[in-house]
Structure 1
Amino acid sequence: MACLPVFIYLLLISFCKCDDQLTQAKQLIRPGDMLVSKNGFFALGFFSLATSNQSLFLGIWYNNIQERTYVWVANRNNPITNPSSAMLAISNSSDLVLSDSKGTLWTTMTNITGGDGAYAALLDSGNLVLRLPNNRTVWQSFDHPTDTILSNMKILLRYKEQVGMRLFAWKGPDDPSTGDFSCSGDPNSDLQVFVWHGTKPYYRSIVLDNVWVSGRAYGSNTSFMYQTFVNTQDEFYVIYTTSDSSPYMRIVLDYMGTFRLLSWNASSLSWAVYSQRPVTIGNCDLYDSCGPFSYCDFTLGIPRCQCIDGFEPYSSNSSRGCRRKQQLKCGGENHFVTIPGMKLPDKFFHVRDKSFEECASECSRNCSCTAYAYTNLTITGSPGTIVGQSRCLLWVGELVDMARNNLGDNLYLRLAKSLGMEIMEG
C-alpha cells in the first residue's frame, strides 16, 4: 500500500499537458492546454489580457520567468470570442488551424498534399515548426514574426526584388492587434531599415556601414547578442545570436515605436534594456527632426540639432534646418570636406563596384552631387563564402536625417572652395 501514493503521482504526471508536440490525434482544445518546449523555455497556448477577458489569443511566451512576456501571437487581429469552443489542430491537409464555433480564425495555409502524419513542435528557440513525417519543416513561426526578434531568427530584409519581413508593434500594452508602428527594410535599398508610423518614416537605421557589417555586440557582462548579415543571390537577411545560446534576450518593437534590446535579469526579476532606438521619444533622433543639412549630435551631453560644416541655421528654430553660408557655382571651384562619425543621410543613390577614387570622381564631376560616402564592406554570402562589396553613395540636393556619434561613417561634403579651405584650416 505504501507504493500507492507513488503510483498515483506517476499517473498524474502522465496526464500533464506539457508535451512539446501537437499531432493530428492530439489537439489543444481548452484554455489550460499548452505545448512546452523540451527544456521548458517557451510555452504555446491560449491567453487573454486584462482589457479583453472575453477574447482569447493563441501565442508563445516565456514559460519559466515570473513576468509573462509574449513573443508571438497567431490570431492578433482575429481573437477567439467563444473560448469554450477554441481549438488548435492539424487538419487533414497538414495545416495548423485555429478555430472556434464561428469557424477558422487562423491557419498556416501550407497547401501540402500527401502530408499525413504531420506534426507541430515548439522548439527551445521559441520557434513553432510544422513538419512532415520525414521531419521536413513546411512552416515556422520564425518566418511570420509579430513584434519580436529572437535569437537565431532569420530576419529577411529583401527577397529578390521585394521587401522581406515586416514587424508590427502591438496596438497597446494590453492589445496585441496590429498597431500603428511597423518595421521593414527600405523599399528602395538593402542598406537601411525603417520604423514606420503608418506610412510615414519614424526612425531610420543604416544597416550596412563599416560598423554594422564588422559586427556589433550588445548585452550584459555574461551574455551578448551578435548580428550577422547574409547576402545571397535571392535574399538579404540578418541573424542575431547570443554568446551563451541564452533564449532570454530579445529585440522588440513596442507600441510607441521604440526598438529595444532586452535581457532577463534573474536578480531583479525584470527585463533590462541594453539598447533602444530612437534613444528618447521626442528628441532629435526621430526621422528628419533636424531638417535639411542639420544633424542630431550625440557627442553632446544632451543631443541637439547642429548645422553641418559650411552651413548656418535658417532661424532660431534649429529643427527647420540649415542653409549654405556660401552658394555653390556649377563650373566654379568647389572643395570636399570630410565630416567623420556620421549617420549618413537618407535618399542616396547607391553606385556599385566602384573604388574610393572612382566614387569621389563620380560625385566631383556632377555639379548636382552634394556629397558622397564610401565603404568597402565584407559580408557573408552563400553558405561558407565571404563577399566583398563596395558601397559608393551619392546625394543630390538636400541632406536629411543625419546624426553624429563616435561610430559613424565619413561623409564627404561639397562646399565652395574658399569656404572649404577655411574649414580645413580652422
Structure 2
Amino acid sequence: MLFLISLTICASHESDSITINQSLTGDQKITSKGGYFVLGFFTEDNSSRRFYIGIWYKRVTKLTPVWVANRATPVSDPTKALLHISHDGNLVLRDQLVKSVLWSTNATISSQYSTVAVLQDNGNLVLREGENSSNVFWQSIENPTHTWLPGAKIAFNKRTGVSQRLTSWKNSGNPAPGLFSYEMGQNGQLQIFKWNMSKSYWTSGSWDGSSFSQVPEMSGGYLSNYTYANNYEEISFSFSAKDNASIIRHILDVSGQMKMLMWAEGVQEWTQFWSEPKAQCQVTAFCGPFGSCNEQRLHKCTCVKGFSERSPKDWDLSDFSGGCTRNTPLQCAGNTSAYVKQDKFLPISSVRLPIDAQQFQAGNVDECEQACLNNCSCTAYSYEITCSLWYGGLLNLQDRLWRKAVRRNTLP
C-alpha cells in the first residue's frame, strides 16, 4: 500500500519563485533568473536578533538591501518564520512562534487565481497569476522602501490621490520607517517631507525637459537617463542606467538627503555622485530638540550647553531625531530643592533662530524675558525689535550669527 502525505517544499537557492507549494524560511533564498538580486532573511546587527525579509544585490559584496517587507515587525528567529503564498493568494510572512502574520502583500485576489511570487532581474518582486504573467496583483517596485531602483517610479496618482514614495530607515541599523519621505508633489515638483510627510523642507524646482532646476547634476546625464511624465493619470519620475553594467541606485538616507550612488567594483564600495539638499543642516529637525547643526563639523550635530544626547546609541547610528535632554531639571518643572536657584536664561550666540516661534507683544527685552519665565512651557526667547517665544523642544538650531536664550536651571 502506498501512503502519501502533503507538505510544503522550501524554495531552493536556484529558484526565482515562491509558489503555493514552495515557501521560504531560515537561511533559504530565491535568486532572480539572471543572478542579479536575492530575496531572503537578513539582519543588520546580529546582536539585536532582528531579522527582515528583504531584497539585496547578488553581485555586490557589501550587503545592500534595496527593499524590506517587514520593516517595523522583525522576527527574532528566521527558522521559525515562513514566507509563503497564503490561502487567499497573497504573499505572507508568518511568525510560527507567535502564530501571527507580520506582513502581507494584502492584494485583492479572486479565488479563481493561483498565484506565484517571482523575483525579477530589475529587483522587482512580483505577485502575479501563475498561468498568466501579465496579470499582476502586487509588486515591490510600486511599494518601495528607501531605495529607488532603475525603472522604478516616484509618482502621484491623480485618480486615487495615492503617492508612490520613498521613506528613510529609522537609523543605519534599523529599516523601520524613519522620519523622512521623498515623493512627487501634486504640483509636479519632487518634495521631501518630515514628520509623517507633514512638513516640506526641500523641493526640486521645475522640470526643464532634462533636469529639475534645483538638481543641476541631472543635466549631465552621463550615468542615467531621467524621464518625467505629467498626464491625466499621474505625475511620475523615473530613471535608467545608461550602462547596463553599472549598478546605480538612489536612496533616501537616514540623513534626510536623497543620494545617488554607484557601486565601484575596484574599491568594493558605494561611490556617491550627488545629494540633495546639499546642506545637511537644511533638513528639518535633523539634530532633534535642543540639538544644533554645523556644516563644518564631521559629526554635524551637537547638544547646546546644558544638554546631553538623549540616546547616545541612536546618535552612533546616525539617528539624531531624539535630540538632547537637560542636564539639570527646570525649577518650574517641580524641582523644589532649597539649594537650587531660580530658572534663568543662558545666552547663546552665533546660532540660527529655531523654527515655530510665537510672537508676544513686549515693549523691551526685559518684558520678553519675563513673559517666557512666567510660562513653564516656554523654553527660549529672542528679542530683536519684536519678542519671539518658543515652547517645548527647540528644533532647527544651526550655528550662525544670531542671538537667543535658552531657559535652564543654574546651580549654586
Q: Distance in 2 between matches of 1:40 and 1:169?
A: 27
| Residue 38 (structure 2) pairs with residue 39 (structure 1) | no
Q: Rate the CA distance shift 1:51–1:33 in 2: closer, same or farther, 3 A.
A: closer
Unaligned runs of 5+ in 2: 1-10, 285-348, 354-412
Q: Distance in 2 between matches of 1:69 and 1:231?
A: 32
**2:128 aligned residue:** 131
Partner amino acid, structure 1, of 2:104 = T
1:19-418 alignment runs, 5 A limit = 19-30=15-26, 32-50=27-45, 53-101=48-96, 102=98, 103-132=100-129, 133-135=131-133, 136-160=135-159, 162-186=161-185, 189-198=187-196, 199-209=198-208, 211-212=210-211, 224-246=223-245, 248-282=247-281
Q: Rate the CA distance shift 1:144–1:52 in 2: closer, same or farther, 3 A.
A: farther
Shift of 1:260: 0.3
Q: TM-score, normalised by structure 1?
A: 0.59
Q: Distance in 1 between matches of 2:112 and 2:247?
A: 34
Q: Distance in 2 between matches of 1:37 and 1:211?
A: 32
Shift of 1:258: 1.0
**1:379 aligned residue:** none
Q: Deviations over 1:275-330 (max 9, x none)?
A: 11111312xx557xxxxxxxxxxxxxxxxxxxxxxxxxxxx98978xxxxxxxxxx
Contact 1:41/1:247 (<8 A) preserved: no
Shift of 1:165: 1.6
Shift of 1:211: 4.8
Q: Which has the higher contact order (CA 8 A, sep 6+)?
A: 1
Shift of 1:52: 5.6
Q: What secondary structure is seen at the aligned counterpart in 2 of 1:84?
A: helix
Q: Deviations over 1:68-96 (max 9, x none)?
A: 10100000011113433200001122110
Q: Distance in 2 between matches of 1:118 and 1:246?
A: 32
Q: What secondary structure is seen at the aligned counterpart in 2 of 1:206?
A: coil
Q: Distance in 1 between matches of 2:280 and 2:13?
A: 43
Q: Deviations over 1:90-145 (max 9, x none)?
A: 11221101101221011111121134431111111000001102112111000100
Q: What secondary structure is seen at the aligned counterpart in 1 of 2:211?
A: helix
Partner amino acid, structure 1, of 2:226 = Q
Number of residue pairs the alignment of both structures matches? 275
Q: Distance in 2 between matches of 1:207 and 1:220?
A: 17
Q: Deviations over 1:55-80 (max 9, x none)?
A: 21100011121111010000001111
Q: Rate the CA distance shift 1:91–1:149 in 2: closer, same or farther, 3 A.
A: same
Q: Distance in 1 between matches of 2:12 and 2:91?
A: 22
Q: Distance in 1 between matches of 2:193 and 2:249?
A: 17
Q: TM-score, normalised by structure 2?
A: 0.61
Q: Rate the CA distance shift 1:96–1:16 in 2: closer, same or farther, 3 A.
A: closer
Partner amino acid, structure 1, of 2:25 = I
Q: Distance in 2 between matches of 1:17 and 1:191?
A: 42
Query: Identity over aligned residues, as a percent?
Result: 30
Contact 2:52/2:71 (<8 A) preserved: yes
**1:17 aligned residue:** 13
Q: Deviations over 1:154-176 (max 9, x none)?
A: 22134337251221100111001
